[in-house]
Amino acid sequence: MTRNIRDRGRRFGARATGHQGWWSGTAVLAMLLIVICAMPAAAQTNEENYGQLEFNFVTPGARATAMGGAFIGLADDATAAESNPAGLVILSRPEISFEYKFIDYSREMYLDENSWLENRKSTISDNASIPAFFSYVHPFERFTLSVYRNETVNFKQSFMTSGPQVGIDDLRLFPVDSSLEMKLTNLGVGGGFKVTEKFFVGASVRYSTFDLNTDLTRWDFDRTSIENRSNVDDSDNAITFNLGMLYTFSPKFSAGWVYRNGGEYDVDWSIVVDPAGANVMLDEKLKFNIPEVYGVGLSWRPLDALVLAFDVVRVNYSELSDNLILIYNTDTQTKDQYNIDDATEVHLGGEYTWLVGGMPLSARAGVYNDPDSSMTFSGDGSGNSEATRIRFPGGDDQVHVTVGTGLVIKDRLQFDAAYDYADLQKQFSISAIYRF
């Protein structure tokens, strides 16, 4: 069993470039059945396409984006339904709001044959256009109701490798073609309640849909035959929620707290192995834990025209690796060697508003840190471990700088725009609010 699993790992992940000993299809099938039956029924795999997933937990709305995502202690527009539902009670008129985002993601990976030996990463980029947020808010006497839809996650990633040399035991990774699309959409009903004149609470319940579409093809070295091919094309639903509180110390100071859970989602994963003409398909359930998020925020209005906001947000990214399934190297590696660190994000932003011809015109800016949430591998110096480190190279912490503007026309129509810049992620967001 031990020998079989290690050999299977070599076959799926890497092998000595001069190796000639192929197994028969029957032997591979029998071995995979044993391994799959022994798997826990949960988690993403240690395939490289799950190594650098990106989530978009920044509060929705171009206004909040332009303020560095610092909005928990302010929460004074329709996006409060998601950012801090307690803030909904600040609104005194029904509103609809809409946000559209253009996101450009970049990742750095070892792609070509000598890239690892020369310590040279290549940058891969993908982008997504997202109808990120839509909401309708209706205030009542002491209660404000919101119905909304938002996309917390909309991530695309595709790459091709030509099989980097590992540099130990004459090992080389198989060339890989990979594509991945991941989306998490929430349909939510939320409400804010005014407990006292200064203390508000809020909550929302969300019907969350997780869509995952992956295709990972592992070729032989000359790219003439497929070693194996795994894919996911599935979706799952969960009921999730968020909670929020807001306290206004004075018209100038307020503080907020928010908690959001992400939910657990099961999707069908399958792999086709085609060793020497055999065609064997096996499947399994993957369980994704979308990280929970909690944070606190402060807002300070030193002038009526100026507001500053400061948030500290904790994202439990480590939940993603809670129930990792090892597909490769099951005999030499353990799940504990695969890590995703939790992240503490600090958001700071400000907004200054002028009245131009009676129309409020705002300029906004902000900054926040985005700690690396990639999966990394910490193994020994063996060839298999080195091969795994190539597939899970980790990433760098990012610092985002944001700017934006907003304009209100005829007291009812508000347009906002924001640009969020970081080395490996750029985002442009536009949103509109109409007050009845």
Partner 1 sequence: MMARPGRSESGRRWLRAASVCLALSLLLSSAPLIADSWYEEYDRGLKQLRKGDAATAAVAFQAALADRSTPGRRVRAYGMRYLDYFPHLMLGRSYIEMQRFDMAVPELEAALAAGAAPAGEVRPLLEQARQEVARRALPAAVAAADPPPAPSGLLAVSEGVGGRVRLNWNGADGAEYYEVQSSTTGEDWTDERSVRATEPTVLLSGLPRGEIRGRVRSVSTKDGAGPWSPVVTANLAVGEAEARAAGEKFEAGRASMENGRYAEAAAALTEAAAVMENHAHCLAMIGTCHATLHFLKNDPVSKTEAQRWFRRVLDADPSFRLDERRVSPKIVRMLDSLR
Contact region with partner 1 (CB under 8 A), list: 88-96, 169-177, 373-381, 387-395: 88-96
Measured distance CA(436)–CA(433) in Å, rounded: 10
Q: State which residue, 93 or 120, has the beta carbon closest to partner 1.
A: 93
Interacting residues of 303 by C-beta distance below 8 A, sequence separation 6+: none
Q: What is the DSSP letter of 291?
A: P
The least CB distance from residue 182 to partner 1, in Å, is 20
Q: Is 20 in the site for partner 1 (CB under 8 A)?
A: no
- The residues facing 158 across adjacent strands are 179
Contact region with partner 1 (CB under 8 A), list: 112-120, 168-176, 189-197, 396-404: 189-197
Q: State which residue, 131 or 360, has the beta carbon closest to partner 1.
A: 360
Measured distance CA(384)–CA(287) in Å, rounded: 26
Cα-Cα-Cα-Cα dihedral of 15, 18, 23, 28, to 10°?
10
- The residues facing 354 across adjacent strands are 361
Per CB under 8 A, the list member of 20, 119, 224, 250 interacting with partner 1 is 250
Binding mask 344-383 for partner 1 (x = CB under 8 A): ---------x-x--x-x-x---------------------
Q: Which helix (H) or strand (E) is 194 found in, with range? A: strand 176-194
Binding mask 206-245 for partner 1 (x = CB under 8 A): -----------------------------------x-x--
Measured distance CA(247)–CA(44) in Å, rounded: 40
Asked if 288 contacts 323 with a C-beta cutoff of 8 angstroms, the reply is no
Handedness of CA 415, 404, 255, 251 (dihedral sign): negative
Q: How many C-beta atoms lie closer than 10 Å to residue 147's C-beta?
A: 16
Structure tokens at 13: 């992940």
Q: How many residues bind partner 1 (CB under 8 A)?
A: 43
Q: Is 63 in the site for partner 1 (CB under 8 A)?
A: yes
- List phi, psi (to 5°) of 234: -155, 165
Q: What SS3 state is found at 222?
A: coil
Q: Is 193 in the site for partner 1 (CB under 8 A)?
A: yes
Per CB under 8 A, the list member of 289, 384, 429, 431 interacting with partner 1 is 289
Q: Is 93 in the site for partner 1 (CB under 8 A)?
A: yes
Helices vs. strands in the chain: H and E counts, helices first: 5, 20
Measured distance CA(19)–CA(30) in Å, rounded: 22
Asked if 73 contacts 298 with a C-beta cutoff of 8 angstroms, the reply is yes
Per CB under 8 A, the list member of 15, 101, 183, 194 interacting with partner 1 is 194
Q: Is 401 in the site for partner 1 (CB under 8 A)?
A: no
Using CB under 8 A, which residues numbered 404 to 423 contact partner 1? 406, 408, 411, 414
Q: Is 19 in the site for partner 1 (CB under 8 A)?
A: no
Q: What SS3 state is found at 182?
A: strand
Contact region with partner 1 (CB under 8 A), list: 174-182, 274-282, 319-327, 332-340: 319-327
Q: Is 336 in the site for partner 1 (CB under 8 A)?
A: no
Q: Is 62 in the site for partner 1 (CB under 8 A)?
A: no
Q: Is 339 in the site for partner 1 (CB under 8 A)?
A: no
Measured distance CA(125)–CA(158) in Å, rounded: 8
Per CB under 8 A, the list member of 48, 76, 82, 370 interacting with partner 1 is 76
Using CB under 8 A, which residues numbered 123 to 162 contact partner 1? 142
Q: Which residues bind partner 1 (CB under 8 A)?
A: 40, 42, 63, 76-77, 90-93, 142, 193-197, 201, 203, 241, 243, 250-252, 259, 261, 264, 289, 292, 304-305, 319, 322-323, 353, 355, 358, 360, 362, 406, 408, 411, 414, 433, 435
